[in-house]
Structure 1
Amino acid sequence: MTITQAKNRARRPVTLSIPVLPELQAVIDQTPTGNLAFLVTQFGKPFTPDGFGNWFRKRCDEAGLPNCSAHGLRKAGAAIAAENGATERQLMAIFGWSTMKEAARYTKAARQKVLAASGMKLLRPDQNPNETVPLFPTQGDGGTKSLPKPLKNKG
């Protein structure tokens, strides 16, 4: 699919060529056609950007999803892609961003989640079952601190 983003199209148009996911293609295949716009009003006219946002917001409210929005879906897509390992350049290509700043926001958040998840196991007391290490060094003779030899767990 090749599209030109509406945002900034008069000053600096951004044209994207992106593959259509099979799930979207299935929906497109089952949707009545005959209009050049994908999204049309009940009167068969293309939505305005504000009109679509308002329509989508109402549908979300009706579905019991008051914190959802069309832009939120875009953000969720970027977050999912980043959490699945998309690079900043890949996010830029998918979402049409011209600088790395926006893409970096999503990859940074995704890395933080992955690092936190992998680090949490290090907080568990049983993470190293073969060795017991005291939390604080003990005081040895002569006033110097020395670490005791590790005790082996029996069991």
Structure 2
Amino acid sequence: MDTSWWLALAAVVLLALVATLVDGWGRGRRPGRRRPPGRPGGRPSGRPAGRAGARTGRPNPGDIWWAQVPYEDRPESKDRPCLVLAVRGNRATVAKITSKYHDERAGVIPLPPGAVGDAHGRPSFLQTDELREVAVADFRRRVGVVDPVLWDQVRHLAD
């Protein structure tokens, strides 16, 4: 057999081995990271985790947070992302964010994938037609701030 074929095969195998090793180094377990972002069961809200997205203070208008948002028709609540519209004392007015698109509802605004800190980057939808009151103590994890263009569209809702 021709030796150039064997050399080419050896080069491909060597490159595949190097790529596998380099990829494995980036996927090692990182300290302090035990579950994907946005999942319940993180640290208690009073103890900052010391990483991006941890509870580092009070919610502010324009922030996106994960919080215990109450249902409209029953006393329970659900851990979900929400957009903070206003904060008054120890209560905040929020618009809930869902991963399910409801085209029959007015006031549903699509958000860019990953806007709520979802590990899977699923699309999310802001529901502006049902606002909720949430205790400041029920905010768990800050994700970031909403896009300024979207904020200009919705900031008047809590007035």
Regarding TM over 0.5, the answer is no
Q: Which has the higher strand share?
A: 2
Larger Rg: 1
TM-score normalized with structure 2 length: 0.21
Q: Which has the higher helix share?
A: 1
